[in-house]
Amino acid sequence: MSAEIRRLIPEGLKNNEAERGKPRHEPPLRFVPNKSLDNEDGEDEYNKSITVELNLKTTMKVVPYAFIDVESFLGYQKQHMYILDQQEAKANWTKLETLRSDTEDKISAISSNTINAKEKATRKRHVELRDGLKKRMDAIIMKAFTLYQQMSAAALRAEWDDIVVEHCFTTGWLDEHDAPSNEQRGQDWKTLADCKRLHLLTVCDPDAAERHDQYMNVTLKKPQRLAIKPFHKRVKELDDLAPSLPCLKDQADCPPEVERRNVSMSPFAMCGLLMRNVSVQIEDEYNCLHNIVPTNPKKLVEQLTKIETKLGSVAPHVPKPNDRRKQSESQPGDPQRSRRETKRAKAEKASSRNNATDHRIPRKEQFPPRGDKKCKLCAEYGGSSNTHKTVVCKKWLPGGKTHPEWKGGKTPAHINVHQGETVNQLMAQQAEFNKSIKQMSKLADKKKKKKRSRQRYSDSESDDSD
């Protein structure tokens, strides 16, 4: 990650804020890379820097690299290419190769069995020049291999040496005709690129390009607290690293129908990725101003930034306390909102509810008065008086008589016995009624006792007579 993007990204941003769930396969490049540097070698050489000569008598300090993640590993390989470009190593090697080829043609123009002394001297001079050019070319290649080795820490350096020996200085490898070769490949620019690719495969999988494509188009999302402009810069930075990743198409047994995935996105695909990751409000604002889909990422980012600034400048609407529950039920949650933010919002809501005891809102009357709906008959003789008017009453007639259309049946004869009496009077009447019932029960018990005594007396008289 470049220094500019590190400055634009919010402090403490985590990968779960920029991903739609956990990736199914571990991606080689993630939106938020590791910032901690773990020294796996544990040697003092790690902290020692080397001095590298650049073009025009300039130098730079390079710290031997220890593995952190795949992105930093690709940066380490790009730094190697940057130093070679500053030294103009490949350009100088190409010039020497051209001179050597011309010298080889001049040598072949003169016969090796010539008897002319001048031609012999000329041919000998061309042979010495060719050999000298070849040595200089080999020295440039050797310097490029050695530079990569010196830029590596101890663990990576050991792996690099094994790869170089096996790939460049062994026989039996398959040539373009799939036949074992008895010659060594040697060291050149092609074998240097092959060795760097094999070194990259020690820290990532052969299908890293396919995993990266899945991550960028499916898993990645824009963090809620990150603006569109730095999001686009970070996506563009990750997309530029895609051609450097290993791809299944480079494998020998890859089916021909498999497409190559270690390629950068087209401008149209980049615009589609940006539109998928903006909010619904920003997308609606953009669609109101444009009738066609975007095709230029640079212009799209400028327009989306203006819309984002406009929406951000408007003060957010604060809902009333009574409307919070309705708003939470009617509106679904933001898909870009993380679990941590949701829990934090619930905790703040609970604390605000506990602290709002002194500022309670008075309750609204549940049953307001009905106004002119008041039945005097039901109020006097019994019934629901607030549901209808006196004129349309279907329960009572004036005087307390039951209405003939009343579905509840006729009123008993004693319905108006207790009209106007208080509750105490009714309780007194009930007590007298209970008292009378007790007296009647006592009288009944006495009659039963007398009958029993008479029966016993009659039985005793009959015994005496016998």
pLDDT at 57: 79
Q: Mean pLDDT: which of 100-104, 170-174, 358-362, 451-455 is highest?
A: 100-104
The CA–CA distances, whole Å, from 38 to 42, 43, 74, 148, 299 equal 9, 12, 17, 21, 40
Which has more confidence, 420 or 252? 252
Which has more confidence, 57 or 221? 221
Query: Band of the pLDDT at 240, cuts 50, 70, 90?
Result: very high
Q: Are 273 and 216 in contact (CB under 8 A)?
A: yes
Q: Are 182 and 171 in contact (CB under 8 A)?
A: yes
Distance of CA 433 to the CA centre of its chain: 80
Closest CA to 194 of 210, 173, 212: 173
Which has more confidence, 38 or 382? 382
The mean pLDDT of 371-398, rounded to a whole number, is 79
**For the chain, what percent of residues have pLDDT higher than 70?**
77
The mean pLDDT of 180-192, rounded to a whole number, is 90
pLDDT at 325: 54
Closest CA to 64 of 45, 43, 83: 45
> Given 3-state DSSP classes, what are the helix, strand and coil percentages for the chain, each rounded to the nearest 5?
60, 5, 40
**For the chain, what percent of residues have pLDDT higher than 90?**
39
pLDDT at 411: 47
pLDDT at 228: 92
The mean pLDDT of 404-433, rounded to a whole number, is 62
Query: Band of the pLDDT at 196, cuts 50, 70, 90?
Result: very high
Residue range 312-322, pLDDT digits in tens: 854 445 455 55
Closest CA to 352 of 318, 329, 326: 318
d(CA 303, CA 297): 10
Listed range (39-53, 283-297, 325-339, 345-359) with the worst mean pLDDT: 325-339
pLDDT at 9: 78
396 phi/psi in degrees, rounded to 5: -125, 150
Query: Band of the pLDDT at 45, cuts 50, 70, 90?
Result: very low
Which has more confidence, 275 or 414? 275
On average, the pLDDT of the chain sits at 80
pLDDT at 11: 81
Residue range 105-158, pLDDT digits in tens: 888 888 888 888 888 888 889 899 999 999 999 999 999 999 999 999 999 999
Q: Name the token pair of 368.
A: 């307001």
pLDDT at 46: 46
pLDDT at 408: 61
pLDDT at 412: 45
pTM, to two decimals: 0.62
pLDDT at 14 over 90: no
d(CA 238, CA 29): 7
Q: Are 151 and 50 in contact (CB under 8 A)?
A: yes
Residue range 363-377, pLDDT digits in tens: 554 444 545 567 888
Q: Mean pLDDT: which of 19-28, 94-103, 330-339, 353-362 is highest?
A: 94-103
Q: At what angle do helices 89-109 and 70-87 cross, to 10 degrees?
A: 50
Closest CA to 223 of 335, 309, 298: 335
Residues with Cβ within 8 Å of 200's Cβ and at least 6 positions away in sequence, in order, are 73, 74, 77, 244, 246
Distance of CA 331 to the CA centre of its chain: 20
pLDDT at 73 over 60: yes
The mean pLDDT of 449-466, rounded to a whole number, is 55
pLDDT at 218 over 80: yes
Which has more confidence, 445 or 86? 86
Q: Are 102 and 65 in contact (CB under 8 A)?
A: no
d(CA 403, CA 395): 5
Query: Band of the pLDDT at 43, cuts 50, 70, 90?
Result: very low
Closest CA to 3 of 237, 298, 265: 237
Residues with Cβ within 8 Å of 56's Cβ and at least 6 positions away in sequence, in order, are none
N- to C-terminal Cα distance for the chain?
Answer: 133
Helices (H), 278-422: 280-289, 297-313, 324-330, 339-354, 376-381
Q: Is 285 helix (H, G, I), strand (E, B) or coil?
A: helix
Q: Are 28 and 203 in contact (CB under 8 A)?
A: no
Helices (H), 170-323: 189-200, 208-214, 228-240, 267-277, 280-289, 297-313
Per-position b or e across 316-342, b if 16+ CB within 10 A of its CB? eeeeeeeeeeeeeeeeeeeebebeeee
Closest CA to 8 of 318, 332, 285, 225: 225
Q: Are 310 and 241 in contact (CB under 8 A)?
A: no
The mean pLDDT of 393-397, rounded to a whole number, is 82
